[in-house]
Amino acid sequence: MRPDAGITALEGREEHRGGSGLALRLDDVHVRFGDTQALRGLSVEVGPGEVVAVTGPSGSGKSTLLLCLAGLLVPDTGRVTVGYTVVSSLPDDARTRMRRSEIGVLFQFGELVPELTAVENVLLPLLFSGIRRPVAHDRAMAWLRRLRLDDRADEQVSGLSGGEAQRVALARALVIEPTVLLADEPTGALDTPTGQLVMREMVDTVRASGTTAVIVTHESRVAAYADREIHLRDGAVLGEPAVGRSGLPGSAARS
Amino acid sequence: MTGQSSSGPEQPTLSTRSVGVGRMGGSGRLGGRDAWWLAVRGGHLDGLRIALTAAASSIAALLVLVGGDIARRPTYLPYLPGLLTDRGLLPGVLLALALTCLPALAVAGFATRVGAARRSARLRTYRLSGASTADVRRVLGIEGALAGLLGVVGGLVLYAVLVGVIAEFGSPAPLRRDLVGGSSEIVGWHLAPAVGLRVADLLPHAWAIAVAAVVVPVAVLAAAHLAARSVDALTHADPPSRRPVRLAGRALPLLLAGGVLAVVLVAWIADGRANAAGLPVGALSVVLVVTGLLDAGEAAASSLADIVAPRTSRATVLLAARHVQATPRAMTRSGRFLVIACLVGGIAAGAGSTTLAARDVDVEFFSQSYALVGVLIAIAVGVGALALLVGVVEVIVTRRRLASATRAVGAPPGAVGRAVVLAAIAPVAPAVVLAWLAGAVAGGSSMSRGMGSPVSVPWGWIVVCGLVTVLLLALLLTPAFVASRRMARVTELRTAA
């Protein structure tokens, strides 16, 4: 694989074009931060319902890729498409609306609002969408029940364990029933058993709902839960290892 | 690029310049140029802190320059023509200007703490890179001195603008009505052209410049020094606990205690005993009443938040309500100056109205005096509102990470800023209105007892003052809200808090 600019991950994945359509697509995306070229001509396609891990060393552009997909960062050049919408050409408020309905985002440190209870954190995106409190509360509770956190619903964030807080953040990302879930190092702040629990919950949930997921990670253990791995180096795709490496939890789950 | 700064995450970095022992040279001490570089290196937040500190210092410097002018030319004043004609009022006006400088300098002191947590992280990095506590203090001192000097320059610019505006448009002057016996009373205001304003009048007095150039930076440096005491890179103290404080359980007792205290003290002042006890007791009474009013405001806002938070369908209101519950004192601390200014303003309005309603008083002298007091109160209210603005900016800065996270989950830009502004106004606005009312009643009653005349409280005027103050707050906090829209930096979420 060539680490230079313009290398794509499209080769061999033409089956995702047309037909059922693509969930996500990046075309020749360039992003520069000052003197640093974070993404150089990156092109990636992700099919509906696919779970993709984005791996690579620190500074390879993984998180920048995720921010582009979330519409939180507009590339200097290139195109980012989510479903049939070209996110990169939308104005900021339209991208914000899109995050309320189509894109769930999960961060490494959860990023819950500390003063709110667990259920209030989960229902917050629904309130931003203009949904009435009782309806939002019911939906948030349903997600907490699904993640076996309903007994912690009225707990302040400070009273939750790291794993619980991350699962609440997962519920907050999924409560809008997004077509795409974007997770940035979702287990990076957790110990191994808790991280595995969160990953299992996350992957089971997105698979059950047919949600497309892109998981940025540097842990091979986490990447193994994915259908496919995209490895970045210096802002470009380095290669795509074979699907489901034997002996890792992902292959076991898929088999 | 939109949606995110093209310069990437704002992180303190030492990669382009060493701060280690190598930079200390043979003396083992951070060089002046390096300390300067480190002081201004921090990025947007440090720029914001310096700008706010300089803005508050500018007001203090302006007051010093205007005071110098008034002392130099008491007979000719472009500021308030026809108002300061009585030489006997001059010392009082100068003292009041000096006193008004104090809250402005205190606001500058508050401003030196904006973004303190992030600055602490940066200074910790310096310490880990080999800087001594003395070096870190030096960096902080240079930052404070820079802000103070910028404040002096800003004060000179404000002075030039003020005199320029007066030269162009004129200045407020009282409309008088002649009374029987040769005296007159002020019945209104109009814009009087600045006749005879010379080029030399555009320049402040050299002594005033010298005083401003010394007093303001020294005061800001002292404030920066005090602020440095809370920097954990110096003290190795643990960062403050983030455990939320819930007021729900003590809301009612606090409300009652604050209210009762305020009523008792107002009655006590009104009874005239404060006059006998002198200025210290009077000042203490004001402080206690303000504390009572703020406690009552906090408790009322917290109780309201208890009711609203579980029910509201508006995300911003939910965030504001929970923020008020978690940190009830975050805003009232910086709203204290404003409430003091409003209380004193109310006292002056009540006392003035009652005095002028009495028979056998020198209407011309008193109307002139109370008009001057009114001008100073207006300045003090402006400074108090600035203090609250600094408090709001500080909270917005500390909640920047939260703003980034909520943006990522679909919140509109500025949602967190709007919540902070709402949480700031909720406890302070009732305290402000109550301060005007309580002050007017206390001032009117006290003066009535002293002069043996009936109490005259200008209710309409007081209500207008209260509403104008709240409106001023809303106007002043708007820039903070607008700035908060640009505050979110999602890349920050990749690092631990």
Same domain, B203 and B252: no
Interface probe for A, chosen from B409, B418, B422, B485 (most Cβ of A below 10 Å), is B409
| Chain-chain contact of A124 with B491 (C-beta, under 8 angstroms) | no
Residue A120 pLDDT greater than 80, yes or no? yes
At residue B240, the pLDDT reads 39
- Closest chain B CA to residue A156: B244
How many angstroms away from the CA of A29 is the closest CA of chain B? 12
CA B223 to CA B50: how far, in whole Å? 13
CA B48 to CA B145: how far, in whole Å? 15
Residue A11 pLDDT greater than 80, yes or no? no
> What tokens appear for A238 in the block?
């380095």
**Inside any domain, residue B183:** no
Exposed (0-12), middle (13-18) or buried (19+): which is B74, by Cβ within 10 Å?
A: middle
CA B172 to CA B176: how far, in whole Å? 13
What is each CA distance from B238 to B46, B227, B234, B404, in whole angstroms? 22, 16, 11, 25
Which of the four pLDDT bands, split at 50, 70 and 90, describes residue B443?
A: confident
What is each CA distance from B363 to A83, B175, B347, B370, B377, in whole angstroms? 78, 14, 18, 10, 20
Mind listing the pLDDT tens digit for each residue in B50-76? 888 888 899 999 988 888 877 776 655
Same domain, B207 and B268: no
Same domain, B232 and B298: no
Phi and psi torsions of B351, nearest 5°: -65, -40
The DSSP annotation for A179-192 comes to: SEEEEESTTTTS-H
Same domain, B293 and B276: yes
Phi and psi torsions of A108, nearest 5°: -60, -40
Number of domains in chain B: 2
Question: Which residues fall within 8 angstroms of residue A116, CB to CB, at 6 or more apart?
Answer: A124, A156, A157, B318, B319, B322
Structural domains of chain A, ranges and CATH numbers in brackets: 51-71+98-237 (3.40.50.300)
Average pLDDT, chain A: 81
Which of the four pLDDT bands, split at 50, 70 and 90, describes residue A221?
A: confident
Q: What is the mean pLDDT of residues B285-298?
A: 71
Residue A244 pLDDT greater than 60, yes or no? no
Instruction: Establish whether this prediction's ipTM goes over 0.85.
Output: no
Residues of B in contact with A73 (CB under 8 A): 1, 3-4, 490
Range of weakest confidence among A170-174, A222-226, B393-397: B393-397
- Asked if residue B203 lies in contact with residue B68, where contact means CB atoms within 8 angstroms, the answer is no
Exposed (0-12), middle (13-18) or buried (19+): which is B222, by Cβ within 10 Å?
A: middle
Same domain, B159 and B95: yes
User: Which of A67, A92, A108 lies nearest to residue B413, judging by beta carbons?
Assistant: A92
| Chain-chain contact of B410 with A74 (C-beta, under 8 angstroms) | no
**Inside any domain, residue B19:** no
Domain containing residue B48: 27-175+191-236
Which letter does DSSP use for residue A25 in this model? E
At residue A121, the pLDDT reads 93
Same domain, B160 and B117: yes
Which stretch of DSSP H or E encloses residue B412? none
Residues of A in contact with B7 (CB under 8 A): 33-34
User: Which of B323, B408, B415 lies nearest to residue A70, judging by beta carbons?
Assistant: B408
**Inside any domain, residue B181:** no
**Inside any domain, residue B21:** no
Which of the four pLDDT bands, split at 50, 70 and 90, describes residue B20?
A: very low
Which stretch of DSSP H or E encloses residue B187? strand B184-192
Residue B492 pLDDT greater than 60, yes or no? yes
Which of the four pLDDT bands, split at 50, 70 and 90, describes residue B38?
A: low
Same domain, B147 and B197: yes
Mind listing the pLDDT tens digit for each residue in B330-365? 666 778 888 888 888 888 888 888 888 777 777 777
* Among A63, A17, A226, A211, residue whose Cα is nearest residue A241: A226
At residue A162, the pLDDT reads 86
Going B136 to B137 to B138 to B143, the CA torsion angle's sign is: positive
| Chain-chain contact of A109 with B319 (C-beta, under 8 angstroms) | no
At residue B495, the pLDDT reads 61
CA A59 to CA A62: how far, in whole Å? 8
In percent, how much of chain B has pLDDT > 90? 2
- Judged by a CB distance cut-off of 8 A, whether residue B497 touches chain A is yes
Same domain, B58 and B199: yes
How many angstroms away from the CA of B411 is the closest CA of chain A? 6
- Compute CA B355 distance to the chain's CA centroid, rounded to the nearest angstrom: 30
**Inside any domain, residue B16:** no
Mind listing the pLDDT tens digit for each residue in A47-86? 999 999 999 888 888 888 988 998 888 899 999 999 888 9
Which of the four pLDDT bands, split at 50, 70 and 90, describes residue A7?
A: very low
Strands of A94-154 (E only): list them.
103-106
Which stretch of DSSP H or E encloses residue A17? none
Residues of B in contact with A105 (CB under 8 A): 408-409
At residue B195, the pLDDT reads 67
Interface probe for B, chosen from A66, A73, A160 (most Cβ of B below 10 Å), is A73
Mind listing the pLDDT tens digit for each residue in B220-264? 888 777 766 655 545 443 333 334 444 444 455 555 566 566 656
Average pLDDT, chain B: 73
CA B427 to CA B438: how far, in whole Å? 17
How many angstroms away from the CA of A92 is the closest CA of chain B? 7
Exposed (0-12), middle (13-18) or buried (19+): which is B148, by Cβ within 10 Å?
A: buried
Decide which of B257 and B402 is more confident.
B402
| Chain-chain contact of A34 with B313 (C-beta, under 8 angstroms) | no
Q: What is the mean pLDDT of residues B90-110?
A: 81
Same domain, B38 and B162: yes
Could you tell me how many residues make up chain A? 255
Decide which of B496 and B389 is more confident.
B389
Q: What is the mean pLDDT of residues B143-164?
A: 87
How many angstroms away from the CA of A19 is the closest CA of chain B? 30
Which of the four pLDDT bands, split at 50, 70 and 90, describes residue B396?
A: confident
- Judged by a CB distance cut-off of 8 A, whether residue B15 touches chain A is no
User: Which of B322, B405, B491 lies nearest to residue A111, judging by beta carbons?
Assistant: B405
> What tokens appear for B334 in the block?
């910086």
- Asked if residue B390 lies in contact with residue B423, where contact means CB atoms within 8 angstroms, the answer is no
Which of the four pLDDT bands, split at 50, 70 and 90, describes residue B16?
A: very low
CA B283 to CA B97: how far, in whole Å? 17
- Judged by a CB distance cut-off of 8 A, whether residue B460 touches chain A is no
Could you tell me how many residues make up chain B? 497
At residue A136, the pLDDT reads 93
> What tokens appear for B307 in the block?
């009711």
**Inside any domain, residue B429:** yes
Which of the four pLDDT bands, split at 50, 70 and 90, describes residue A253?
A: very low
Residues of B in contact with A109 (CB under 8 A): 493, 496-497
Which one of B183, B207, B236 terminates a domain? B236
Q: What is the mean pLDDT of residues A128-144?
A: 92
Same domain, B206 and B276: no
Q: What is the mean pLDDT of residues B208-217?
A: 88
Binning chain B into helix, strand and coil, the percentages to the nearest 5 are 70, 5, 25
Which of the four pLDDT bands, split at 50, 70 and 90, describes residue B105?
A: confident
Q: What is the mean pLDDT of residues B265-280?
A: 53
Same domain, B257 and B400: yes
Strand partners, A27: A79
**Inside any domain, residue B7:** no
Q: What is the mean pLDDT of residues A151-159?
A: 89
Mind listing the pLDDT tens digit for each residue in B171-205? 777 777 777 666 677 777 777 776 666 666 667 78
Q: For chains A and B, what is the number of CB pairs under 8 angstroms?
A: 126
How many angstroms away from the CA of A98 is the closest CA of chain B? 8
At residue A19, the pLDDT reads 35
Residue A173 pLDDT greater than 80, yes or no? yes
- Closest chain B CA to residue A38: B8
C-alpha angle with apex B268: B267 to B270, nearest 5 degrees? 60
**Inside any domain, residue B184:** no
> Which alpha helices (H) appear in A9-106, and where do they start and end?
62-69, 92-101
Dihedral, CA of residue A95, residue A215, residue B11 and residue B240, to nearest 10: 100
Residue A10 pLDDT greater than 50, yes or no? no
Going B365 to B366 to B371 to B376, the CA torsion angle's sign is: positive
At residue B455, the pLDDT reads 77
Same domain, B261 and B226: no
Residues of A in contact with B493 (CB under 8 A): 107-109, 111, 184
